[in-house]
């Protein structure tokens, strides 16, 4: 199995391209190949965005080969790799110790990279390796100055590099790492020393210096004399340009991204990280008279700040609102496999909905259509207001993303999907007996009451339908898409409504409306009550419609004094439209009259 890269070309050599879909072999979004800049590492890209990166090639094994060996240790099969150079091309090849002649790369349509071998006994392809092996090993998953600790038990997890702390403690503890980490102490300049971090995968975006002949000491001097250098590594790298193994100095001048801790077995490189207060010569924490003086001064300042804070609390100043989680677009794209159709779980008037995994939690991600005219700041402010709405019958908004023209909302995931998906599925609708349906009706009413009256904001849904009522694991309803009118404006068209309920009500046959699958379990009185209340809620004149507080009371307690409903809004609108047509026709040159016949 061989992958090739050419020098002095713009395409970077061979690339493995995924299928577009499970049954569509045309070119998809994902590709696998050499880094065309350094030729020392391979990537999986989603379009132009990296989603997975190997460590730079070394004279020994890289992290990928280490994983292969680990995965196959039980079968006694070891995977070897070799880099062949001929001054024009690099070939990276893989072979198995058991002599299996056939191995292959596979890049699935969802972006998973696999190495497979042919099993002669099973007469089938056997998957040896699947990458990414851990969520935090995705490109940049742990954010700037964060790293994926592959040695952590029971599963790999994100951590901050030594001398750093989470940029947002709330985000970090919530399993959202995209904001990364920040320094505990700012750098003082070129006088700061370096801390050795063994067993690390070198970060991305490195610069090669020294021309292939640098010693470790020369590499350290190169970085320490450059005040903008934040880290360096001294590695034994292989490249055809060098004619074989060379030692090279890798330096970093910006944020450290896509770092992993691999351990002593698989991580052959040591990363040297510049930290404030370290002695340049030995990398140990330096103490000074200034430090001994600063500590008591700092303690005094903290005490004074605490007293001032307590005084402000005593005066009744309100606390600041909790920071609302804003998630990077790149993180959402990774969670949804770049908004793959396989992750799509819905499509509504405001955009498509995808299922994804963020911070170890299943979430539903709504990618809003481009119709919203709000800018990024206005959208963010509006979402923060909506996120404050908390009710057991509302879908919880967990976060959002506003990146240029992309606006996304992140909700809790509802395993039983939408009410309409259950009602109109012949097998799933059996889960909804009348008791469950009546509880769903009352739950939706309670959610609307909260939006209309009890919440901080007065929100009219404007698009309430079965598709916007989601069901949790216990079949309890939660209203979705509330607040969309605040983002998109009140410009949504009225949907067409069937006239069956009104006609059957006029004919005295409302008890025949329930689905035949629940006829044996439903209460006729409750069915008639629900139909009666529903028709009152669609009166043409808004003043004739009941308040949601009254609706909830009636559904919870029953009532025998409800007023008779008038023609629903769609009939009244039709009469108005016909009158307008009549006026237009009568004022034309060829005048004639048009009579509308309506049954009573």
Give the residue ranges of the annotated binding site for ATP: 366
SS3 356: strand
β 259-261/469-471 pair status:
unpaired
**If you ran DSSP here, which 8-state letter would residue 574 be given?**
H
209: left (phi over 0), alpha (psi -120 to 50) or beta: beta
Measured CA to CA, the distance from residue 418 to residue 346 in angstroms comes to: 9
Measured CA to CA, the distance from residue 23 to residue 418 in angstroms comes to: 28
Measured CA to CA, the distance from residue 600 to residue 591 in angstroms comes to: 29
Chain-centre distance for alpha carbon 368? 14
**If you ran DSSP here, which 8-state letter would residue 518 be given?**
G
DSSP conformation letters of 277-340: TB-TTT-PBP--HHHHHHHHHHHHHHHHHHHHHHHHHHTTPPPPPPPPPB--HHHHHHHTTTT-
Burial of 222: CB neighbours in 10 Å, binned 0-12, 13-18, 19+: middle
Contact predicate 562/533, CB 8 Å: yes
Dmax (CA) for the chain in angstroms is 103
Q: Which residues contact 41 (CB under 8 A, 6 or more apart)?
A: 34, 35, 53, 54, 55, 56, 57, 204
Q: Is 463 annotated in the active site?
A: yes
In the Cβ-directed half-sphere of 388, how many Cα atoms lie within 13 Å?
14
Active site residue: 60, 463, 515, 520, which one?
A: 463
Measured CA to CA, the distance from residue 419 to residue 465 in angstroms comes to: 9
Question: Annotated binding site: which residue ranges?
Answer: 366
SS3 242: helix
- What values do phi and psi take at 497, rounded to 5? -120, 135
Instruction: Note every long-range contact of 157-163, with CB atoms under 8 Å and residues 24 or more positions apart, other chains counting.
Output: 159/261, 161/197, 161/256, 161/259, 161/273, 162/195, 162/197, 162/273, 162/275, 163/195, 163/273, 163/275, 163/276
Residue 216 corresponds to which tokens in the numbers above?
Answer: 């470790």
Residue 440 corresponds to which tokens in the numbers above?
Answer: 């769903």
Query: Which residues does the annotation mark as catalytic?
Result: 463
């Amino acid at each position: 199995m061989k992958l090739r890269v050419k020098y002095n070309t713009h395409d970077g050599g061979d690339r493995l391209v995924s299928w577009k879909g499970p049954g569509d072999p045309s070119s998809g979004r994902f590709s696998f190949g050499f880094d065309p800049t350094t030729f020392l590492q391979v990537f999986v890209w989603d379009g132009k965005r990296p989603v997975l990166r190997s460590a730079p090639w070394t004279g020994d094994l890289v992290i990928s080969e280490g994983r292969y060996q680990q995965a196959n240790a039980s079968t006694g099969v070891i995977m070897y790799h070799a880099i062949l150079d001929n001054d024009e091309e690099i070939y990276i090849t893989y072979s198995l110790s058991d002599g299996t002649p056939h191995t292959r790369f596979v890049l699935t349509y969802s972006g998973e990279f696999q190495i497979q071998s042919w099993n002669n006994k099973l007469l089938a392809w056997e998957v040896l390796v699947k990458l990414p092996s851990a969520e935090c090993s995705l490109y940049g998953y742990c954010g700037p100055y964060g790293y994926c600790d592959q040695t952590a038990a029971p599963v790999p997890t994100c951590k901050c590099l030594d001398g750093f702390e989470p940029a947002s403690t709330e985000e970090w503890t919530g399993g959202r790492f995209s904001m990364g980490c920040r320094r505990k102490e700012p750098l003082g300049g070129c006088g700061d020393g370096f801390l050795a971090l063994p067993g690390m995968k070198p970060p991305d975006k490195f610069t090669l210096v020294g021309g292939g002949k640098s010693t470790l000491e020369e590499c350290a001097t190169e970085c320490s004399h450059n005040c903008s250098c934040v880290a360096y590594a001294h590695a034994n790298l292989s490249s055809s340009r060098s004619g074989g193994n060379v030692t090279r100095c890798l330096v970093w001048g910006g944020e450290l991204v896509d770092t992993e801790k691999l351990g002593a077995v698989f991580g052959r490189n040591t990363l040297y990280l510049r930290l404030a207060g370290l002695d340049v010569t030995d990398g140990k924490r330096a103490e000074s008279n200034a430090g001994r003086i600063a500590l008591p001064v700092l303690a005094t300042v903290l005490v004074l700040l605490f007293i001032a804070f307590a005084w402000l609390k005593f005066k009744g100043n309100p606390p600041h609102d909790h920071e609302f989680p804003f998630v990077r677009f790149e993180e959402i794209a990774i969670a949804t496999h770049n908004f793959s159709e396989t992750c799509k779980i819905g499509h509504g008037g405001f955009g498509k909905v995808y299922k994804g995994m963020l911070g170890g939690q299943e979430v539903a991600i709504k990618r809003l259509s481009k119709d919203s005219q709000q800018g990024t700041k206005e959208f963010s402010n509006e979402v923060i207001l909506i996120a404050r709405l908390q009710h057991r019958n509302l879908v919880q908004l967990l976060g959002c993303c506003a990146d240029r023209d992309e606006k996304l909302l992140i909700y809790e995931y509802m395993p039983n999907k939408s009410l309409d998906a259950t009602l109109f599925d012949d097998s799933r609708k059996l889960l909804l007996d009348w008791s469950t349906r009546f509880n769903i009706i009352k739950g939706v009413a309670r959610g609307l009451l909260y939006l209309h009256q009890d919440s901080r904001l007065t929100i009219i849904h404007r698009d309430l339908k079965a598709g916007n009522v989601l069901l949790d694991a216990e079949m309890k309803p939660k209203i979705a898409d509330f607040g969309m009118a605040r983002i998109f404006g009140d410009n949504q068209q009225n949907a067409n409504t069937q006239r069956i309920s009104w006609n059957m009500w006029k004919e005295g046959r409302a008890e025949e409306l329930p689905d035949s699958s629940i006829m044996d379990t439903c209460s006729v009185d409750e069915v008639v009550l629900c139909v009666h209340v529903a028709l009152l809620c669609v009166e043409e004149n808004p003043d004739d419609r009941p308040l949601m507080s009254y609706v909830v009371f009636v559904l919870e307690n029953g009532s025998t004094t409800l007023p008779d409903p008038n023609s629903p809004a769609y009939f009244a609108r039709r009469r108005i439209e016909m009158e307008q047509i009549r006026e237009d026709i009568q004022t034309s040159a060829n005048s004639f009259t048009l009579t509308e016949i309506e049954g009573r």
